[in-house]
Amino acid sequence: MKYIGAMIVFALFLLCLFLFVNWGAMTAPTKLSFLFFDAEGSFGLIFLGVTLVFAVLFVAYSFTLRTRMLLEGHRHTQQLEAQRKLAESAETSRFDRLREQITTEFERVRSANQNDHDSLMTRNEEMEQSLRKSLVETTNGLSAAMGEMEEKLDRALARIAG
């Protein structure tokens, strides 16, 4: 874009130089035909005037294009900002739902773990009671067997002694 601007300035400089060198020919009166009527005037000055009018119109058009472009860029920026806010809102919503889902899942796992723990504790107590019962029965059986052996031993000693 900078090169185009430099080229335009250089072309305007050359045009001004051309006008300055040929000013006499530009201001010389000539007979001009406007299709429906004829007039006498300076062809160069009329042509220069028309060129300046086109240049002014071109500059005005380029300014309006630039202004429209800036306004459209501003509008796009606002739309992008709105879309960014919407995306952030949606992302926050997704994170909240994910957090709720994870919390629910942890509660379910915690509850299942507690149920398993309670079940294991109940089974452990049942096994402990069963083990104690077996131990008491075994102790009673051993005591009875020892009592019988003691009795037999006493009888055998009484027979030998007596």
- Please check whether residue 77 lies inside any domain of the structure: yes
Burial of 82-108, coded b for 16+ CB within 10 Å and e otherwise, reads eeeeeeeeeeeeeeeeeeeeeeeeeee
Predicted confidence (pLDDT) per residue in 110-143, tens digit: 999 999 999 999 999 999 999 999 999 999 999 9
Q: Which domain holds residue 74?
A: 2-147
In a domain, 162, yes or no: no
How many domains is the chain built from? 1
Residues 6+ away with beta carbon under 8 Å from 41: 29, 30, 32
Q: Is residue 155 part of a domain?
A: no
What integer best gives the mean pLDDT of the chain?
A: 90
CA distance 41 to 26: 10
Domain assignment present for residue 111? The answer is yes
pLDDT value of residue 1: 57
**pLDDT of amino acid 26:** 81
* Residue 161 belongs to a domain: no
Tokens of 106: 């942890």
What tens digit of pLDDT does each residue of 5-42 get? 889 889 889 988 988 898 888 888 888 887 888 888 88
